[in-house]
């Protein structure tokens, strides 16, 4: 293996640039030529591929987003699109590819490998932390810290005005951000997709808070909670507790941006180096992850099909601490 490529795909996540930097510098130290594929699979189809030297990745470890850009490609979902992408890689004599992204990225890579046999190694880059095969994904820690910082500021207003705030965080199918930010911010309630009957449990918790004469409450809601979004749940609670003035804040895409935390920079750096080593060892169609602080490679099929849910201890902890 002499020439490899790296690209970022799907939603951007803080730490992706640190991952690209690690890939380029680790590969260069092994005598490999590295190419950056711009705009994900769409750039692969269009041949938007450029050589990356060490100097190209200087001073990017602290930057959010991705210097390689990202795009969603409907064209890559077709056999003709994937054939064109394979021809673009062949034109640049690419021997292997490192893909930084999430479930959709690895689904595409898995199909592409089966059709064209080009080795892929993935790196988990998504703020949702929902990929099987790694304890944490690149961007998750930064997203949680961003959300907690926002919630801490909202707490000041909630306290001053005796208001009940419902704060919606990202997590359409995964409640990791909601759970971690809820516990980390001292929320009075945490509503995530992995828990049933959230609204009823919340009402019980708020009744207990009223008996203790607690003056205000913060409730963290994952956008994909089965009971509905923050605004829908706030309306239900307002009907139950008309004495409360309820407010809704949706943090939204703020969680995707910003300078990555130290934890995300180190995670991305470890995984970037591991992905290069994996390609050189002949690994293919796998994702490099960190499990119990050790590098582990997991087949794309398992990453895609197996579910990853928060452990019961954390779920229980969130409920216990909310009753304080």
What pLDDT score was predicted for residue 194?
A: 86
Which H helix or E strand runs over 179?
A: helix 176-185
What pLDDT score was predicted for residue 96?
A: 98
- Say how far apart CA 320 and CA 317 lie, in whole Å: 5
What pLDDT score was predicted for residue 137?
A: 98
Domain extents for the chain?
3-139+260-305, 143-256
Active site residue 128: yes
What pLDDT score was predicted for residue 43?
A: 98
Tokens 């394979």 identify what position? 86
The CATH H-level superfamily of 143-256 is: Phosphofructokinase domain (3.40.50.460)
Each residue of 86-115: pLDDT tens digit? Answer: 999 999 999 999 999 999 999 999 999 999
Report the side by side order of strands in the sheet with 33-37.
49-52, 33-37, 3-8, 96-101, 120-124, 286-291, 294-299
What pLDDT score was predicted for residue 265?
A: 98
3-139+260-305 and 143-256 in the same fold? yes
- Paired strand residues for 8: 100
CATH architecture of residue range(s) 3-139+260-305: 3-Layer(aba) Sandwich (3.40)
Q: Mark the ranges of the chain whose per-residue pLDDT is less than 70.
A: 197, 215-216, 323-324
Q: Which of 148, 168, 147, 167 is nearest to 158 (CA)?
A: 167
What residues contact residue 21 under an 8 Å CB cut-off, 6+ apart?
57, 60, 61, 269, 272
- Say how far apart CA 241 and CA 217 lie, in whole Å: 13
Catalytic residue among 128, 130, 141, 225: 128
What pLDDT score was predicted for residue 257?
A: 95
């Amino acid at each position: 293996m002499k020439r490899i490529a790296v690209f970022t795909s799907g939603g951007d996540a803080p730490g992706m640039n640190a991952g690209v930097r690690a890939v380029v510098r680790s590969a260069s130290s092994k005598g490999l030529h590295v190419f950056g594929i711009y705009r994900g699979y769409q750039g692969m189809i269009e041949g938007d591929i450029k050589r990356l030297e060490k100097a190209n990745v200087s001073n990017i470890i602290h930057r959010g987003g991705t210097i390689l850009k990202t795009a969603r490609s409907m064209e890559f979902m077709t056999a003709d699109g994937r054939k064109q992408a394979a021809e673009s890689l062949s034109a640049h004599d690419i021997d292997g590819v490192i893909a930084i992204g999430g479930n959709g990225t690895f689904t595409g890579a898995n199909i592409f490998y089966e059709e064209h046999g080009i080795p892929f190694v993935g790196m988990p880059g998504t703020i949702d932390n929902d990929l099987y095969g790694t304890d944490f994904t690149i961007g998750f820690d930064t997203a949680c810290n961003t959300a907690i910082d926002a919630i801490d500021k909202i707490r000041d207003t909630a306290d001053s005005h005796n208001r009940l705030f419902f704060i919606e965080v990202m997590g359409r199918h995964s409640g990791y951000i909601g759970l971690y930010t809820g516990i980390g911010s001292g929320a009075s309630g945490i509503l995530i997709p992995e828990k049933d009957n959230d609204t009823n449990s919340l009402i019980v918790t708020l009744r207990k808070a009223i008996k203790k004469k607690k003056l205000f409450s913060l409730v963290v809601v994952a956008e994909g909670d089965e009971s509905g979004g923050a605004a829908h749940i706030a309306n239900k609670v307002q009907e139950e507790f008309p004495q409360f003035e309820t407010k809704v804040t949706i943090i939204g895409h703020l969680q995707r941006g910003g300078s990555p935390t130290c934890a995300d920079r180190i995670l991305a750096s470890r995984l970037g180096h591991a992905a290069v080593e994996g390609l050189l060892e002949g690994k293919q169609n796998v994702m490099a992850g960190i499990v119990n602080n050790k590098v582990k490679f997991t087949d794309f099929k398992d990453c895609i099909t197996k579910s990853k849910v928060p452990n019961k201890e954390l779920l229980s902890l969130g409920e216990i601490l909310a009753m304080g």
